[in-house]
C-alpha cells in the first residue's frame, strides 16, 4: 500500500513539474525569426500586477505581467520588453 501511495505522489509531482511551461489560455500564433511562437491573444493587453499570486510565478497565458517569469514558448512584443528587462536584472540573466 505504501508503494502505491509513493508511486502516485511521485507521478503527480513529476507531472506538475513537466507542465510548468504549458499555456492555459487562448493564444495566437506569430511567425518569428526563431520559428512560429505563441503570443497574447488580446492585442490591447495592459500588464497589471496579479492579485492572486503575490510572488514570482510563471507566465501561462503569453500575456506578461509584473512578477511573471517569461515563458520560452511565447513571443513578447515591444510593450513587454520593459518587464523582461526587469526580470533579467532581478535574476542576473545575460541580455
The DSSP result for 9-37, as a single string, is HHHHHHHHHHTTT---S-EEEEEETTEEE
Phi and psi at residue 29, in whole multiples of 5°? -95, 140
Q: What is the Cα–Cα distance from 50 to 42, expressed in whole angstroms?
A: 17
Classify residue 1: in a domain, yes or no.
Answer: no
pLDDT at 17: 43
Integer Cα distance of 45 and 76 in angstroms? 12
Instruction: Give the model's pLDDT for residue 25.
Output: 87
> What does R_g of the chain's alpha carbons equal in angstroms?
16
The reply to whether 71 falls in a domain is yes
Domain assignment of residue 59, given as a range: 23-90
Please tell me the distance from the alpha carbon of residue 85 to that of residue 44, in angstroms, as a whole number.
Answer: 21
pLDDT < 50 regions, the chain: 13-18
Q: How many domains does the chain have?
A: 1
Q: Is residue 27 a part of any domain in this protein?
A: yes
Q: What is the pLDDT of residue 94?
A: 67
pLDDT of residue 28: 92
Q: Has residue 16 been placed in a domain?
A: no
Provide the pLDDT for residue 5: 61
Residue 62 inside a domain? The answer is yes
Domain assignment of residue 74, yes or no:
yes
What is the four-CA torsion angle of 90, 93, 94, 95, rounded to 10 degrees?
-60
Amino acid at each position: 500500500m505504501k508503494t502505491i501511495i509513493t508511486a502516485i505522489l511521485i507521478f503527480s509531482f513529476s507531472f506538475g513539474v513537466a507542465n510548468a511551461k504549458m499555456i492555459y489560455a487562448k493564444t495566437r500564433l506569430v511567425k518569428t525569426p526563431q520559428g512560429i511562437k505563441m503570443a497574447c491573444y488580446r492585442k490591447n493587453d495592459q500588464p497589471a500586477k496579479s492579485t492572486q499570486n503575490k510572488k514570482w510565478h510563471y507566465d501561462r497565458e503569453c500575456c506578461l505581467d509584473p512578477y511573471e517569469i517569461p515563458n520560452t514558448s511565447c513571443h513578447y512584443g515591444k510593450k513587454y520588453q520593459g518587464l523582461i528587462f526587469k526580470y533579467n536584472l532581478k535574476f542576473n540573466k545575460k541580455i
